[in-house]
């Protein structure tokens, strides 16, 4: 896929940020995420040639982005350190590119490499300004024009300053302004008061769960492979009914059911250590949005990381089938209420939990972990800039033993992007338990 950059510039907020808002404090939850960019790509079909806005899409997007940055002003600042963001209106990177193929080339082969469509590499979270050597740009955008008239708008948001919920609501707000909205609700909440930052230097190599023993992000290379599993709505309904106890006392959610069946297949696929240094996946880490779990709930659109990955182990489960796995996942989620959140993060108790977790993995070579990051129910498919909703949304973030769940366009199914070592993936693709509910590598 040939992609040619045709322009690159910096977009600044439409209105300057007031002096009293120039410093945005980072919270403990912001400190706990890996220093990477969250990449997102929204694919749009060719628009109506009679729409006058299509004659200057570039200017149209830049002006609305500038207005959006006024509301989400930390995104236009610079990350100084692991404590603060300098909201200096430095601006965000805006790239335009021409793609020498039709968009169908990507949609028919969803697993094709799409890094060229991104404004920056997800794992290259480093200074990008000419005037500073120690600050990071939180946001970058690339608009890709396909030969067929289709378009892909990609965004990379620093994970340090926002999670998937923050990213989705920023995109939705930007799109609303592009459609002519007078105002949007951009909530810049000081979560550092709820989750005070801490000194995490001794935990730095473990932070976020995506790093190796040297503190570097382990990204896919020749030894890793990523596959896309499609669970359509009817299959998920059948799976939920199968896992449920039949007494209406417990019926798993869509995500609990899919997580359980994937985890069961992962346990089977990694059961026999082949000498590659990997361990069977007997523990999983589930990323949860904590906004609605607080009392009172925090606004869904507030920026920052108001989410947390909680580990669940199957070591004490005698029969590791999907039903039992779904139940322990459900119990873990129910346990994460306002009292648990405040006790764990306000007091700093999470640091003790992290230390114990690190010790457990160092002592038990047979305990492998897989990270699930669920982006379902976030409004990515509602991001309409004026030419319709996206036909497909993708999060092209690939890291070993990490999986991403995103909604299908109809909101009923789930796409699961799973990354494993090649030998592990070869076994996963043959697991009958997962093949009964999922299809590998379908086109859009």
Q: How far apart (Å, rounded) are the C-alpha atoms in residues 215 and 212?
A: 5
- The pLDDT assigned to 131 comes to 47
User: Tell me: the pLDDT tens digits for 101-131?
Assistant: 999 999 998 888 899 999 999 988 865 544 4
User: Tell me: the pLDDT tens digits for 288-317?
Assistant: 999 999 999 998 888 999 998 899 999 888
Q: Based on the domain organization, do 189 and 228 belong to the same domain?
A: no
**Domain encompassing residue 246:** 224-377+397-440
Q: Based on the domain organization, do 241 and 163 belong to the same domain?
A: no
Question: Beta-carbon neighbour count of residue 316 at 10 Å?
Answer: 6
User: Tell me: the pLDDT tens digits for 204-232?
Assistant: 555 544 544 444 555 555 688 999 999 99
Q: Dihedral sign, CA of 92, 72, 290, 374?
A: negative
DSSP 162: B
**SS3 (DSSP) at 303:** coil
Q: Has residue 433 been placed in a domain?
A: yes
Q: Based on the domain organization, do 150 and 237 belong to the same domain?
A: no
Q: Has residue 213 been placed in a domain?
A: no
Give me the catalytic one of 159, 163, 169, 407.
Answer: 159
User: Tell me: the pLDDT tens digits for 332-388?
Assistant: 999 999 999 998 988 778 877 777 777 776 666 567 889 999 999 999 999 999 999
CA 276 to chain centre: 28
Q: Based on the domain organization, do 230 and 176 belong to the same domain?
A: no
Q: Has residue 425 been placed in a domain?
A: yes
Kindly give, in sequence order, each residue whose CB lies less than 8 Å from that of residue 340, ignoring residues fewer than 6 positions away: none
Q: Based on the domain organization, do 127 and 243 belong to the same domain?
A: no
Asked about 125 being catalytic, the answer comes back as no
Q: Has residue 198 been placed in a domain?
A: no
Q: Based on the domain organization, do 249 and 293 belong to the same domain?
A: yes
Q: Has residue 201 been placed in a domain?
A: no
Of 201, 228, 192, the residue nearest 25 (C-alpha): 192
pTM (two decimals): 0.91
Q: Has residue 336 been placed in a domain?
A: yes
Domain count, the chain: 2
- The pLDDT assigned to 404 comes to 96
Q: Based on the domain organization, do 151 and 273 belong to the same domain?
A: no
User: Tell me: the pLDDT tens digits for 133-159?
Assistant: 567 899 999 999 999 999 999 999 999
User: Tell me: the pLDDT tens digits for 257-277?
Assistant: 999 999 999 999 998 655 555
Asked about 159 being catalytic, the answer comes back as yes
Q: Has residue 57 been placed in a domain?
A: yes
Q: Based on the domain organization, do 231 and 360 belong to the same domain?
A: yes
Q: Based on the domain organization, do 47 and 137 belong to the same domain?
A: yes
Confidence grade of residue 394 (pLDDT, cut at 50, 70, 90): very high
CATH code at position 23 = 3.30.559.10
Q: Based on the domain organization, do 41 and 127 belong to the same domain?
A: yes
Q: What is the mean pLDDT of residues 169-181?
A: 95
Q: Has residue 407 been placed in a domain?
A: yes
In our burial notation (b when 16+ CB lie closer than 10 A, e otherwise), range 7-28 reads: eeeebbbeeebeeeebebbbbb
């Amino acid at each position: 896929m040939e992609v040619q950059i045709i322009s690159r510039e910096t977009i600044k907020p439409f209105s300057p940020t007031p002096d009293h808002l120039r410093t945005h404090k980072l919270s403990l939850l912001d400190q706990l995420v890996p220093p990477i960019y969250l990449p997102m790509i929204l694919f749009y079909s060719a628009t109506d040639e009679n729409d006058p806005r299509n004659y200057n899409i570039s200017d149209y997007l830049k002006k609305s982005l500038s207005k959006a940055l006024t509301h989400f002003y930390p995104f236009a600042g610079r990350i100084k350190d692991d404590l603060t963001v300098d909201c200096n209106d430095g601006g965000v990177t805006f790239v335009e590119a021409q793609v020498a193929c039709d968009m169908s080339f990507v949609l028919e082969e969803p697993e094709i490499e799409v890094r060229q469509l991104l404004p920056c590499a997800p794992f290259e979270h480093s200074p990008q300004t000419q005037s500073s050597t120690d600050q990071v740009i939180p946001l970058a955008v690339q608009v890709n024009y396909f030969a067929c008239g289709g378009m892909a708008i990609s965004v990379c948001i620093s994970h340090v300053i926002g999670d998937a919920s923050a990213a989705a609501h920023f995109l939705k707000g930007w799109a609303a302004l592009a459609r002519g909205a007078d105002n949007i609700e951009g909530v810049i909440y000081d979560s550092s008061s709820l989750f005070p930052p801490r000194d995490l230097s001794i935990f730095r190599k473990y932070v976020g769960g995506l790093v190796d023993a040297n503190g570097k992000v382990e990204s896919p290379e020749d030894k890793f492979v990523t596959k896309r599993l499609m669970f359509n709505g009817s299959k998920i309904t059948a799976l939920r009914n199968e896992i449920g106890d039949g007494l209406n006392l417990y019926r798993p959610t869509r995500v609990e059911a899919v997580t359980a069946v994937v985890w069961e297949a992962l346990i089977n696929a990694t059961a026999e250590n082949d000498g590659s240094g990997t361990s069977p996946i007997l523990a999983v880490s589930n990323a949860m949005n904590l906004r609605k779990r607080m009392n009172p709930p925090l606004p869904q659109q507030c920026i920052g990381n108001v989410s947390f990955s909680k580990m669940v182990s199957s070591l004490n489960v005698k029969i590791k089938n999907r039903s039992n796995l779904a139940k322990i996942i459900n119990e873990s989620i129910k346990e994460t209420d306002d009292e648990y959140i405040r006790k764990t993060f306000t007091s700093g108790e999470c640091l003790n939990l992290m230390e114990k977790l690190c010790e457990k993995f160092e002592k038990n070579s047979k305990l492998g972990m897989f990270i699930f990051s669920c982006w379902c129910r976030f409004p990515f498919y509602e991001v309409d800039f004026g030419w319709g909703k996206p036909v497909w949304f993708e999060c092209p973030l690939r890291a070993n033993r990490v999986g991403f769940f995103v909604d299908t366009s109809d909101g009923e199914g789930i796409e699961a992007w799973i990354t494993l070592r090649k030998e592990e993936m070869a076994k996963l693709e043959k697991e009958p338990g997962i093949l009964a509910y999922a299809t590998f590598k379908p086109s859009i």
